[in-house]
Structure 1
Amino acid sequence: MARRPEAGGEARSALALPALLALALCAPGAGGQALEWYSAVVSLEYLDRQTNRTVCSVSESGRFGDSSPKEGALGLVGVPGARDGDPEGCAPDTRFVVPAPGGRGAAPWVALVARGGCTFKDKVLVAARRNASAVVIYNQERHGNITAPLSHAGTGNIVVIMVSYSKGKEILDLVQKEIQVKMTIGVGTRHVQEFISGQSVVFVAIAFITMMIISLAWLIFYYIQRFLYTGSQFGSQSHRKETKKVIGQLPLHTIKHGEKGIDVDAESCAVCIENFKVKDVIRILPCKHIFHRTCIDPWLLDHHTCPMSSCLLKTVERPLLQSPHNFL
């Protein structure tokens, strides 16, 4: 008998293969890279002229540059001079204004410049030549309150951070009003972000599509086999039903005392090899052979032929067959 295919387990396993492959390839370290960056804690201190009170604020609102040393820095904030008309601080001769009684040379100072106009590296080098202790780049207005990665390789050991546009504009407005702003930069939280390279994404996509095609082909083959199996089972059951019907048309007879045409002491059933006895129910085949009904019926259902000859059961079309023995 044919083995019935498993209905769900193998199909689910085939569908799970692409997902497992994609997860394995997308896992950390499987073709991906790790982006590490540090936030910066920005502390401000200045004198409010209206209230004559010192205002202090601390926020983890900055982001260290990729090539910046992750260490603290402090100083009075200086911005490009209004005469230069270069808030980005890109020109090599940019002059910075620091609202301090003693000027730039009297105390450490921090350059505050806008993003844009030139590369981050150019901005940092211009401020470094003016002996800035750190460079703060504030983002563009269209980026809102977010910061972005800073790539500025080759700028030495100067501290470089980025702050949002709103934070930078707040500090810029104070300095342009000639208010002395003291800034302290501290190291904030370490962040690690996993991401997948473009090459890995392409590889994962190709592998996923390939596995989906293989799985689809396997499922088509699986369900075709299942359909054929179901059809064969249905045909087999229908055939057995017809066979039982034909067997049921074969004559039955109960052996009696003094039966003519059969010697109960000499004749036996070829299936069970036991002699016929009085009251045994026998089946009479078209080939004139007789057997116990309980013996021959299962045999005919499986083999469709007489055990003693090549007589086929399917040749029987009429139930009114004459026995070689005269039982009447």
Structure 2
Amino acid sequence: MRRPAAAPGSWLRPRSQWLPLLVLVLSLLRPAAGARVEWFTAFVSTAYLDPDSNVTVTANSESGRYGDSSPKGSVQGVIGIPKNARDQLGCDANTEYFIPRSGEPWIALAARGNCTFKEKILNAAKKMAIAVVIYNFLGTGNTTVTMNHIGTRNVVAIMIGSTTGLEILELVRRGIPVIMSITVGSRHVEEWMSSQSVVFVIIAFITMMIISLAWLIFYYIQRFLYAGSPFSSQNKKNKNNRKETKKAIDKLQLHTVRHGDREIDLDIEGCAVCIEVYRSRDVVRILPCKHVFHRVCIDPWLLEHHTCPMCKLDVIKALGFMMDTCENVEVVIPESVPDNIPGGNANVSLQDGAEASMLPDSPTFESLQHDDRLTEEDEAVALIEANLENQINSDSSSCPIGCPDSR
């Protein structure tokens, strides 16, 4: 059974099941460089004795931020600043610090910039500082950022705003000891994505858009070319030819085989397609060449080949239907003949419910025989008729009175 050839580019037709695959591809393109940033604030408390009023001034605010590699612990000590007033950055490894109260635990205070956070922290730790406080750039107010200083060991490091840092720096320069206490504040979590990740997402999105656009252009070009190709016209031609073939087959005569049938010439070997002997109630089709076959056998054959299996007569053209016999048609197997057809019914039934024409009532039905049939075939037919008469006589003798077949 042959099927029509698939159209070129049919595999390119859009399908709804491709959408989950596209979503999966896009999900795999999500950057792995995105990260969750966790940081902690620091409560910064300061206290100093005002020399003018002899009053202790204190301040306490959650204005500091721990560095990412800093231990989240509490420390307390006196503030120390670099001795060189022109260099408050603490980037020099030999930086000396001014500590108003020597001998006490002290915390280094340095400005941001000119070197890494790690260098500032390690330089102060070499001078025995228990903690390092770095204030932000000038003009940034009290804003802070998370410092990156991997490798500073167990030195507590925080950042404070430039405003607070400059106030403390001025007090220490005047020689006023400032006691600072640092304690852990609240925890914060931020989702962020690096610039490299953003670039990766943009490139991946543009690439997917280009691939999708190229696929659509290629698909519609294939569709446009196929619309004017011989495949399209051939499919339409095959469909029309199949309809004409079915109409031609419907015009062929049908007949129901009965016991003692003398109306048609039944070949000795039976149906040439299925190689089965004709039985009572079998529905057969009579071709223009007078050859007889089972309807369920010859109909698919004619749809496929258009010719008689015995004499190769083009049945479709013989009925007056002109078409291309080289077509590729889809074979449709007709429904099998029901078994409840009455044995004595001599009416001829047509396919698709059409009424059948009656075969002429002739004892020998000579009009259905070929004029050029050989003598051997005549003898074979006579032998079949004799066998059928004997079978009928034997059935009639064995049937009781009132039997429908009794003569």
TM range (shorter): 0.5 to 0.7
Q: How many angstroms apart in 1 are the aligned matches of 2:148 and 2:57?
A: 32
TM norm structure 1: 0.60
Aligned pairs for 1:32-111 (under 5 A) are 39=40, 41-46=42-47, 55-59=58-62, 61-64=64-67, 66=69, 68=70, 71-80=73-82, 84-90=85-91, 96=97, 103-111=100-108
Share of identical aligned residues, percent? 33
What's 1:247 paired with? 249
RMSD of equivalent CA atoms: 5.7
1:148-198 deviation line (CA, Å, top 9, x unaligned): 433374x66543333344553464466567765432234565979898997
Q: How many angstroms apart in 1 are the aligned matches of 2:240 and 2:163?
A: 83
Where does structure 2 lack aligned partners over 5 or more consecutive residues?
322-364, 369-407
What's 1:11 paired with? 18
1:216-258 deviation line (CA, Å, top 9, x unaligned): 88xx79x979x99x9698776444323213324x443668999
Q: How many angstroms apart in 2 are the aligned matches of 1:325 and 1:267?
A: 20
TM norm structure 2: 0.51
What's 2:308 paired with? 306
**C-alpha contact (below 8 Å) 2:133/2:158 kept by paired residues:** yes
Aligned pairs for 1:1-328 (under 5 A) are 8=15, 11-12=18-19, 14-15=21-22, 18-19=25-26, 21-22=28-29, 39=40, 41-46=42-47, 55-59=58-62, 61-64=64-67, 66=69, 68=70, 71-80=73-82, 84-90=85-91, 96=97, 103-128=100-125, 130-140=127-137, 141=139, 145-151=143-149, 153=151, 158-169=155-166, 171-172=168-169, 180-186=177-183, 189=187, 237-248=239-250, 250-252=251-253, 262-263=264-265, 270=272, 273=276, 275=278, 283-291=285-293, 293=295, 296-313=298-315, 315-316=317-318, 318=320, 326=367
| CA spacing shift, 1:295–1:156, aligned 2, 3 Å | closer
Cα distance, 1:139 vs structure 2: 2.3
**C-alpha contact (below 8 Å) 2:66/2:72 kept by paired residues:** no
**C-alpha contact (below 8 Å) 2:39/2:146 kept by paired residues:** no
**C-alpha contact (below 8 Å) 1:62/1:162 kept by paired residues:** yes
User: Relative CO higher for 1 or 2, CA cutoff 8 Å, sep ≥ 6?
Assistant: 1
* Aligned residue identity for 1:159: V
* Aligned residue identity for 1:61: G
Higher strand share: 1
**Number of aligned residue pairs:** 301
Where does structure 1 lack aligned partners over 5 or more consecutive residues?
none
Instruction: Name the SS for the 2:42 alignment partner.
Output: strand
* Aligned residue identity for 1:59: E
| CA spacing shift, 1:251–1:144, aligned 2, 3 Å | farther
